[in-house]
Amino acid sequence: MQTLKAEVVAISPLTEFVHKVILKPQQPVTFEAGQYMQLVLGEKDKRAFSIASRPSQCDAIELHIGASGADSYAMQSLEHLRSAHTTGQLVDIEAGLGISQLRLQCERPIILLAGGTGFSYAKSMADHLAEIKCDRPVLFYWGVKEESALYAHTEMQTWADSHKNFEFIPVVENPSANWQGHTGYVHKAVMQDIVSLAPYDIYMAGRFDMIGIVRDDFITHGAIRENMYADAFAFIK
């Protein structure tokens, strides 16, 4: 883990409720694809956010913060960042946290599964896999409630189109009449597409209650627990 001070370079909306934040650390940041950072608001108040940027981007950290409700965990963090951006103050961060980072020492195909802004966790790994020219099959499933929440749809489709072994599968829970892709719960789409999950390394991010259900359903569908990765596992039974 690195403890750093960082400048808040930019805050911009991705959707009505999701904002992209760019931080510039005072020294190069070191982390692995799939790790997270903590925004330090106080000695005992540290807010965790997945890092959306890839590890080679050591001079910048990209976050996707989904925030609604004035007193919410994420909104308080966003307001802290906005205040620092306005005043030019530096923020304190801790980077390189988590145990669910990308494993590159095997040849199994990969499933990246993200619910909502869990997308940022999977994006870091997807971009890193492209950068190192990984030839393992990679399936990126991103589940959202409404189509408008697919703020990086074009970007990830370009990612998939540029690599013959990569595939991007967006899944919309409440689709419009014009939606032609997968619908329903994102992990159900995975199980519909894949007969058995036994051969796969699976990386997951989303709400804790969602991840618990996904883990159990995937194991029933053949997934091997030791090949499933989510930092949420440390907080759920």
Q: Measure the CA–CA gap between 163 and 133, rounded to whole angstroms.
A: 9
Q: What is the per-residue pLDDT for 106?
A: 86
Give the count of beta carbons closer than 10 Å to the beta carbon of residue 127: 21
Q: What is the per-residue pLDDT for 2?
A: 95
Q: Measure the CA–CA gap between 188 and 61, rounded to whole angstroms.
A: 32
Q: What is the per-residue pLDDT for 70?
A: 64
pLDDT in tens, 161-173: 999 999 999 999 9
CA angle 221, 224, 230 (to 5 degrees): 100
Is pLDDT of 69 > 80? no
| The token pair that represents 210 in the structure block | 């969602």
Confidence of residue 97 (pLDDT cuts 50, 70, 90): very high
Question: What own/partner pairs with CB < 8 Å and gap ≥ 24 does 119-122 have?
Answer: 119/52, 119/64, 119/152, 119/205, 120/49, 120/50, 120/51, 120/52, 120/62, 120/63, 120/64, 120/205, 121/34, 121/36, 121/50, 121/51, 121/52, 121/203, 121/205, 122/203, 122/205
Q: What is the Cβ-side half-sphere exposure of residue 90, based on CA atoms within 13 angstroms?
A: 10
- How far is it between the farthest Cα atoms of the chain? 54
Q: Measure the CA–CA gap between 39 and 23, rounded to whole angstroms.
A: 11
Q: What is the per-residue pLDDT for 194?
A: 98
Do residues 137 and 165 make contact, with C-beta atoms less than 8 angstroms apart?
A: yes
Kindly give, in sequence order, each residue whose CB lies less than 8 Å from that of residue 110, ignoring residues fewer than 6 positions away.
Answer: 125, 129, 136, 137, 138, 139, 200, 201, 202, 203
Is pLDDT of 71 > 70? no
If you count them, how many residues does the chain have?
237
Dump strand ranges (E) for 187-237: 201-205, 228-229
Q: Measure the CA–CA gap between 211 and 185, rounded to whole angstroms.
A: 12
Is pLDDT of 68 > 90? no
- Higher-confidence residue: 118 or 70? 118
What is the share, in percent, of the chain residues with pLDDT greater than 70? 99
